[in-house]
Amino acid sequence: MKKVFSAKRGLAMLLAVVMIVGLLAACGGGTTPTPTPAAPPTGDATPGEATPPAGPIGGGQVFALATASLGGTYYIVGTGLAEAITNSVDGLIVNSVIAHGSVGNPLMIGAGEAELVMTNYYSAYNAIHGLGPYDDPIPLLGIAPLQFSILQFMVMADSGIYSIYDLEGLRVNIGPAGGGGALLFNTLLPFWGMELDDVNVSYVSYSEGSDAVNDGRLDVNVPHGAPPLEAISSLAQFNDLRLLELETEILEQVLAEFPYYSIATIPAGTYRGIDEDVQSIGIQDILVVYAGMDDDLVYAITQAIWEAIEHLRTLHPSLAAMTFDGYMHSIVPLHPGALRFYEEHNIPLR
């Protein structure tokens, strides 16, 4: 399993580059520049300990909400969340920022570079407990479940690739090194009898990966996100593609060792030419927050998301059934401010 976390040495450098690029992009002709993220609160307060707010509940603060690369589900959903919170919480501005995805994003809370981040149960649990690839515990707590991200193995329809078993020696893009897709891909390989060195991996964006598969520079693109993904649908409009089906007996072995993941189905018709359901594997994405944030402010943020659910469901098909019900509080505890909202509204937890 050490191969799974082989990219962690580069995460800090990559995150720094991502933040610089995001700031430069915000200054280059956009209608709303992205302000510098506010640093996490300082003082004697401990994580989760409320401090009475002065003035507007947001106190005139500017928060960063870390998403992932442009064109992915994280960025679409994160932008909608930031807008909903900004519109509802008095005195608070939240900007969605291009970031490194589910694995890299918790590090931004630890470094004081973001107050809210999108991640998933697996990464958040490991971050809280200081497990790989996180060297030290990171003070984060949960707010809400979001979309369900699925690993999707995309090949050209006329390729001879039908299983993960066929990937040995091939050129495969698994997305950003700090993303959940790369982590999950690395986790899966040993169950099919391989290690990362057995595959020629690339870490370009999912959109770039699709372009490279189309022109023959890569054999497989493996985007991770909530279908439909633009990286696949845009190519499928004019090309015949195939998605690899993952074998049930092997997936059950994966889930026995990694219960955060779930067997997932990409429904027939999700992409042009995909006429049958395709079985794969996925994980629930969640929104988490800096653990030391004021309880009342987190309550207001949670309420803002709750009240915007109907709008959020229209942003992407993966959010069509978005609900707070069943949040896995036992794996990634809710922030006390969020927990108070769940309890007051009798929202069931797991």
The span from the CA of 346 to the CA of 66, in Å, is: 29
The span from the CA of 207 to the CA of 151, in Å, is: 15
* Residue 23 falls inside a structural domain: yes
Nearest to 164 by CA among 221, 105, 73, 244: 244
Buried b vs exposed e over 238-261: b needs ≥16 C-beta within 10 Å? Answer: eeebbbbebeeebbeebeeeeebb
Query: Could you tell me if 10 and 140 lie in one domain?
Result: yes
Structural domain of 214: 151-283
Query: Could you tell me if 137 and 240 lie in one domain?
Result: no
DSSP string covering 237-306, please? TTS-EEEPPPPHHHHHHHHHH-TT-EEEEE-TTSSTT--S-EEEEEEEEEEEEETTS-HHHHHHHHHHHH
The DSSP bridge partners found for residue 141 are: 289
The span from the CA of 157 to the CA of 154, in Å, is: 9
Query: Could you tell me if 236 and 289 lie in one domain?
Result: no
Whichever domain contains 339, its CATH number is 3.40.190.10
Q: How deeply is 282 buried, as exposed, middle or buried, from its count of CB atoms within 10 A (0-12, 13-18, 19+)?
A: buried
Query: Could you tell me if 214 and 172 lie in one domain?
Result: yes
Nearest to 48 by CA among 331, 341, 290, 288: 290
* Residue 296 falls inside a structural domain: yes
Query: Could you tell me if 11 and 142 lie in one domain?
Result: yes
Query: Could you tell me if 45 and 179 lie in one domain?
Result: no
Final residue of a domain: which of 241, 268, 283?
A: 283
The span from the CA of 151 to the CA of 316, in Å, is: 17
Query: Could you tell me if 205 and 217 lie in one domain?
Result: yes
* Residue 171 falls inside a structural domain: yes
- What was the pLDDT predicted at 257? 93
- What was the pLDDT predicted at 55? 57
* Residue 340 falls inside a structural domain: yes
Query: Could you tell me if 223 and 129 lie in one domain?
Result: no
The span from the CA of 290 to the CA of 140, in Å, is: 5
- What was the pLDDT predicted at 71? 63
Final residue of a domain: which of 283, 314, 335?
A: 283
Q: How many domains does the chain have?
A: 2
Final residue of a domain: which of 245, 261, 283?
A: 283
Query: Could you tell me if 141 and 159 lie in one domain?
Result: no
- What was the pLDDT predicted at 40? 36
* Residue 52 falls inside a structural domain: yes
Contact 338, 300 (CB under 8 A): no
- List the chain pLDDT tens, one digit each, 350 residues: 333 333 333 333 333 433 333 333 333 333 333 333 333 333 333 333 333 334 578 778 999 999 987 767 888 999 999 999 999 999 999 999 999 888 899 999 999 999 999 999 999 999 999 998 899 999 999 999 999 989 999 999 999 999 999 999 999 999 988 778 898 999 999 999 999 999 999 999 899 999 999 999 999 999 998 888 889 999 999 999 999 999 999 999 999 999 889 999 999 999 999 999 999 999 999 999 999 999 999 999 999 999 999 999 999 888 988 999 999 999 999 999 999 999 999 999 99
Q: Using alpha carbons only, how large is the chain's radius of gyration in Å?
A: 20
Pairing of strands 224-225, 140-151: antiparallel
SS3 category, 208: helix
* Residue 349 falls inside a structural domain: no
Query: Could you tell me if 268 and 170 lie in one domain?
Result: yes
* Residue 225 falls inside a structural domain: yes
Read off the pLDDT of residues 174-223 as tens digits, 9 standing for 90 and up: 998 877 889 899 999 999 999 999 999 999 989 999 999 999 999 999 99
Q: Is the peptide bond before 228 cis (omega within 30 degrees of 0)?
A: yes
The span from the CA of 9 to the CA of 160, in Å, is: 35
Give the chain's largest Cα–Cα span. Answer: 64
* Residue 350 falls inside a structural domain: no
Query: Could you tell me if 16 and 91 lie in one domain?
Result: yes
Query: Could you tell me if 143 and 164 lie in one domain?
Result: no
SS3 category, 167: helix
